[in-house]
Amino acid sequence: MNISGVIQGVATIAWIAFLGVIGTMVVRAGRNQPAKGFVSLAVILLVAGILLTSIGAGLVFIQPEERGIVISAFAAKGYREATLQPGLRWIIPFAEQVTVYSISRQTYTMSSTTGEGQVTGEDSIRARTKDGQEILIDASVIYSIDPTKIIELHINWQNRFQDELVRPTSRNTIRDAVSQYNVEEIVSTRRVEMEALITKSLTDEFSANDLTLVSFLLRDIHFSTEYAAAVEQKQIAEQQAQQAKLVVEQKKQEAEQARQVAQGQADAAVIAAQGAAEARLINAQAEAQANQLLSQSLTPTLLQYQYIVKLAPGVQTIFVPSGNQFILPLPDTTTP
């Protein structure tokens, strides 16, 4: 609650009551009625009005985000050299007055979109690049008043600093920065560098004029219709070239995959052939070794036994006359 405002409100009520009592006294006097009691009331209301008005004029409440400059008839320079800090403060009634400034952050926006900026309608910055292209820039400047330089700001700018300092300085600085870059650099490779250049320039300009730059925001960049169409065609061509490059790369990968599959199949066939050959060689070696072992195991007695077994597998008994030869001659097992 603003105590100064409350006191001034009560003072106003006292003055209204005083005027009402005076009017009543005049009416009663015109009717020859006594007004002795009203005189005392009028004096009390007059004193209360003067006192409350003086107190209300001498009390100033400064909000936490504000600072006050005291314009004084008793100061040598016409103002107090110290600003009023937040809280309830006292000044000399009727001889001093206070101008209050907010030190909180403020945003000044310049945009082509209606309703976004301080200026109604189109308010983007029209600038020309190093290669002659015209572009439109939407930007915001976030700044605050330097609390230590409020008196200097008041002397130099009063309440005109936003329209006569922030706006023109920002627009001029942006145009100067844009003129140092080609349009393609602003769009892609050097946009961040350009923003840093603008921020540095604005910081120096604001500091020299008792303001503090908090941040510069490059919101958007617009191009002329002709340049936008040219950029779109270039992007389409680049995308088509990129797509063709991807297709070629895909075909190369497919060809490589096919080659690897064919190579794998050829390698598999060679391995299979080598395996078959090695298997045949192993089988032949095993068969030869088996034949050798079998040859070593054949004796005359075994051959005769096998001969008889093969001769008559169903014959269990053979009667041979005593002293006679076998019916069939046994094979000769002697080595010639």
Res 322 pLDDT > 80: no
Res 131 pLDDT > 60: yes
Written as one letter, the residue type at 191 is R
Model pLDDT for residues 216-262, shown as the tens digit of each residue: 999 999 887 777 666 667 666 777 778 878 888 888 888 888 888 88
The C-alpha atoms of residue 46 and residue 292 are separated, in whole angstroms, by 150
Across 269-296, average pLDDT? 79
Model pLDDT for residues 89-116, shown as the tens digit of each residue: 999 988 999 999 999 999 999 998 888 8
List Cα–Cα distances, 300 to 160, 292, 308, 310, 320, in angstroms: 137, 17, 12, 15, 21
Domains of the chain: 3-67+89-101 (no CATH), 106-229 (3.30.479.30)
The pLDDT score that the predictor gives to residue 304 is 65
The C-alpha atoms of residue 236 and residue 270 are separated, in whole angstroms, by 51
Model pLDDT for residues 58-89, shown as the tens digit of each residue: 888 999 999 999 999 888 889 999 999 999 89
Res 23 pLDDT > 70: yes
What's the chain's average pLDDT?
Answer: 84
Residue with the bigger pLDDT between 304 and 332: it is: 304
The pLDDT score that the predictor gives to residue 117 is 82
In the chain, the largest separation of any two C-alpha atoms, in whole Å, equals 200
The DSSP result for 153-177, as a single string, is HHHHTGGGHIIIIIHHHHHHHHHHH
pLDDT tier for residue 325 given thresholds of 50, 70 and 90: low
The C-alpha atoms of residue 118 and residue 107 are separated, in whole angstroms, by 9
The pLDDT score that the predictor gives to residue 306 is 66
Share of the chain above pLDDT 90, in %: 35
